Structure formats: structure tokens, C-alpha cells
Amino acid sequence: MSEKDIAMKHNVSHATVSRVIDSFYSYYQPNVHYLPKHLCFDEFKSVKSAAGAMSFIFCDSETGEIVDIVEDRRLPVLKEYFLRYSKKARDAVKTIVIDMYSPYISLIQEVFPKAEIVLDKFHILQLFSRALNKTRINVMNRDKKNYNKLKKYWKLLLKDQTKLDYKNYKYHRCFKKHMCEVEILHYLIDLDSELKASYELYQYVRHCIKTKDFELLKKTLENKQNIVSSYMKTAIKTINKYINYVENTLKYDYNNGILEGSNNKIKVIKRISFGYRSFYHFRNRIFITQNLAKIKTA
């Protein structure tokens, strides 16, 4: 609910609602002597008054409860923030889930020396799906005859091949005949050898993540490296840079999905209010929504 609607419901001004939010709820201060054993790191687009364009958020990987929100996600700011926590609390952290943002890796290595870095599964798949999509667009722009087909059926290339329909035939105007999903897919990937190799690599990556087979993933990346598109080669180079952390991804069941849900809720709060100017006020509102801010009783 927007603050304006809250004001109308209780017959008070919007300024009163803002004042109540900032005065009746204590400024949330996390316990600097405790951190959960398993953490998730992420960021979201901040408000105008914030020092950085993106604000940092982290939560408990097991419960999804937000631990704290930091105004700026840049490395010096985060380092200064986390050094406020006791060494015992930082040493107790066992795993931290992150996306492929390199400053987080530097931060963890320096501030959380005993924690294992886990790359988020979604971001690994996203890296390869974007590379495959760019490959498709490249082929599409070169092949005018099949331009419409490659444009219309792009989702089939990104779909898990085990979920493709090979039984139900439907009429497709682009082909002017009845076809099933598998037939359309084979037609598309046979148009270009690099597209086919890139598609196969993408499906192998999906399979390896699903079955948690790290050795097969490494072998696949090595074998397919010379025959895939330039976009896929860049993706392979990126993943090889973080290959040790990918092993942890397949070893642990933790991911950033629970934090992405909180980030979506934060976006809704911002959208309903048509944006916030004050980071302090915005942070307070997030904590109230997450039931973390405590009502003052004294």
C-alpha cells in the first residue's frame, strides 16, 4: 500500500505517515557479533539520494530473512561495513552465494577468509543463454530467407530439450505445414554449424547443473570450445575464470532465488510510491514490510 493510501485511510496527511514511519520504528541495527552461516549477496537499483547507483542487500540463505541493506555496493564501502562485524562472526560464515560480480569475490576473500564462494545457478545459465541468443540473432541477420523463423521460435532454442514436444503437431504459418516442436528446433539448428554447436553446449550446461556433474561440465567446455560461436567462446572464458566457484555451485543447494524474491518486493514498494528520494526512509519502509523494524515501546 502506498503512503498516500495509508494517509487517506486514516484521515491524516502524507507528511504525518512519513513522520510516523521514521519515528515509531527504530532504526534497524543488526547484531555485529552474529552472522548466519550461509549468506546471499545481491544488489538493487537505489534511490536518487544514495551515494551509489546500486544498493547492497544480503540475507540468510536458509531462512531468506534480510540481514541488512547497505547504501552503496562498491568494494571500499562494503569492506568498511563488514569489518564492523566481529572476527568470530565473520569466521562463522561457511558459504556466500553471489552473481559474477568480481568485487564481491575480492570482498569475501579478504573479509570472510573461511567462507566458500558459491556462484548463483541462474546467473551461470543466463550467461550461456544470452550467448546462444546472440548467436541466433547473428545467424538471423545473415539468413534473410529464415529470418522470420529464427525470430519467431527463439524460445525453442532456450527451452530444456527434455521438455520439447515431439507428439503434438500444429500448423505453423512460417513453414506452411504441420510440425511439432522438435522438428522446428532441428530445422533451426541445422541452418548454421556454430548455432548447432552453441545450442548443444547450452543444453549440456543445463544438464550438468541439473545433475550436479562438475567433471562432465569441465569436459564439455573443453571439447566444444573450438566449434562454438564467438559469443559462446566469451561465455566459456568467463566461466573458466570462476570455475572453482562453479564446483561449489554444484556442491551446495544454495542459490540467490530467495533474495531475488525480496528484490522484486523492493521494486514493487518503489513502483507503488513512484520512487523515493531518501535512502533512509526507503530502507525503513523495506524493513517495516519485512517485519524487521521494531515498534518503540518506550
Q: Which residue has the cell 528520494?
A: 277
pLDDT value of residue 294: 63
Among residues 280, 195, 290, 245, the alpha carbon closest in space to that of 21 is found at 280
Pairing of strands 116-119, 54-60: unpaired
This prediction has a pTM of: 0.84
Task: Decide: 246 and 220 in contact? Cβ < 8 Å.
Answer: no
In one letter, which amino acid is 149? K
pLDDT value of residue 278: 81
- pLDDT less than 70: residues of the chain: 24-28, 293-298
pLDDT value of residue 51: 77
CA distance 271 to 269: 6
- Tens of pLDDT along 22-72? 776 666 678 899 999 999 999 998 887 777 788 999 999 998 889 999 999
| Alpha helical stretches, state H, the chain | 3-9, 14-24, 75-82, 87-91, 102-111, 121-142, 147-152, 154-158, 181-189, 193-211, 214-224, 230-241, 243-251, 257-272, 279-289
Q: For residue 295, what is the DSSP state?
A: B
- Tens of pLDDT along 189-220? 999 999 999 999 999 999 999 999 999 999 98
